[in-house]
Amino acid sequence: MLVIGAGLWMQTRTLTNDAFVDEATYIVSGQLLRDAAQTGAETPPIATYLSGAPHLYPRLAAALYARGGLEGARVFSLACILVAVIAVYAAAGVLFSSRVAGIAAAALFSVQAPVLFLARFATYDALALALVAVALAAVIDRGERTRWLTAVLAGVCIATAVLVKYASLLYAPCIVIVASLVMPPGSRWKRGAVTLAAALITGVALALAGEPRELWSGFVTTTLSRSVTSGGRVRDIILFALSLGGATAVLALPALALAAARVRWIAVTIFAFALLAPLNHARLHEFVSLHKHMAFALVLWATLAGGAVAALCAWLVRRWHARQVVISVAVAAAAVAIFVRAIVVPGAEAAYRLFRYWPDSTRVAYLALAPVTGPPAHFLSEEPDLGTLYLGRRAPVSQWVHPYYFDYDGQRAQTPTDVDPYRRAIRDGYFTAVLLRFGPQREWATAVEEELLRAQPRYRLAARFPFELADGAGAYQIWVRVDAAGAERVGRQ
């Protein structure tokens, strides 16, 4: 396990980039909640922007960022993934009564692209993944003395996972069902009931610690009724999901047939629930977050795949005698080579590409706005949380405007297609500076750029910061109002 953990850590060190907007959103949200608690001010209405309870991960992320910056928050994600790896090891080892199964499952899980990605991504996903994995490992326990305690632990973990990331609710039924299936027929319902009761009690307690009405509103807005932002064909979504976890899913299939009778239905349940994430994305025609949700499916598939690998190893041991050392070594070497070539290398390459879907010049672009920060300033950006993250109190949230809502002089924009209020504000010189990257809201950014060009010489293009993405090159544009204090220093530091 030390080797697996060290390998995971070494691979994640190759994943470097500036903050992604989701990382900034959760850290900044935590900072706002912390400041509101310290000053007694009203809690900002951020629940509908977050896919998890605002009082849980965001507060933790803000604390981690305050002590260790973005790297500190990302190291916490790595620690969570290491916990998940250990949990997968334990789950497979207990389910198939084989240490080999545990090692194989942990090794397979730790080299997958979604897992590597989340290990360097400072959002709630890694924490939720760890909690789901621990819940699975706990609920598989069949020990006479510990099975009731682990049933409670599983319920606590899965409920906490759901509050941390609402989408984890998809796996709560799996944990309760498996809790029942591991017991003898006469007492199955009791352990399942204990797990469910522990989950409900924990969920209610955590919800009451926050604002229950806001949590429900956030759950409905961000999860149940979430609008599709990056649509695609079902075929393309399924192929993308297969590229991220298909090999492990295929390795898991033999476990359904090879598993002993007492664990076969458990294996079938686990495999079926692993399918829910990619199938749900296919149903919604949604690409966004699929690469993250596949990590949850891989917790389940890797557990089963470890059992299949252990069964194969046991068959080889029975097949060859000790004197056939050469053949055994050759087979082992071939298996390692296939593992590295078919799973390890593609996983590392895919994780690297995933970490290149946002700019690597974000920090320098937003910090370039420092000369024009101050109380009277107003900034326009596609991703304003990044500005608050990098500029801090010099440019608080109240000074930023984004493409999704803007109320200006009686005109209101509620979607990125409503560009008239932005055009009018630019003509009036309302914005001190505008930062564009032509990202997800490219049409909106193009309309804003056209208005800035018409507004010359009142606004000037002060700087461009190029970047390379996995799907092409781009550049940040910084426009400043020429009469703003410090405008002459933007782009000339």
Q: How far is CA 176 from CA 80, 163, 179, 189, in A?
A: 23, 17, 5, 10
Establish whether the linkage from the previous residue to 45 is cis, with ω within 30° of 0: no
Q: How far is CA 338 from CA 48, 312, 319, 331, in A?
A: 46, 15, 21, 11
Alpha helices in 340-441 (DSSP H): 345-354, 362-367, 384-391, 420-427
pLDDT at 187: 72
The candidate with the shortest Cα–Cα distance to 112, out of 7, 204, 201, 29, is 7
CA-angle at 308, arms to 88 and 258, nearest 5°? 125
pLDDT at 324: 66
Residue type, 396: P
Q: Whose structure tokens read 């550049």? A: 475
Q: Residue 430 has which token pair?
A: 């309302």
C-alpha to C-alpha distance for 141 and 148, rounded to whole angstroms: 9
- Please state, as a whole number, how many other Cβ atoms lie within 10 Å of the Cβ of residue 234: 13
C-alpha to C-alpha distance for 102 and 124, rounded to whole angstroms: 26
| Helices then strands, each counted (H, E), the chain | 20, 7
Pairing of strands 433-436, 459-469: unpaired
- Please state, as a whole number, how many other Cβ atoms lie within 10 Å of the Cβ of residue 122: 28
Structural domains in the chain, sorted by start: 2-354 (no CATH), 362-489 (3.40.190)
pLDDT < 70 stretches in the chain: 227-231, 319-328, 493
C-alpha to C-alpha distance for 272 and 260, rounded to whole angstroms: 18
477: β partners:
436, 464
pLDDT at 327: 67
Pairing of strands 472-481, 411-413: unpaired
CB 305 within 8 A of CB 108: yes
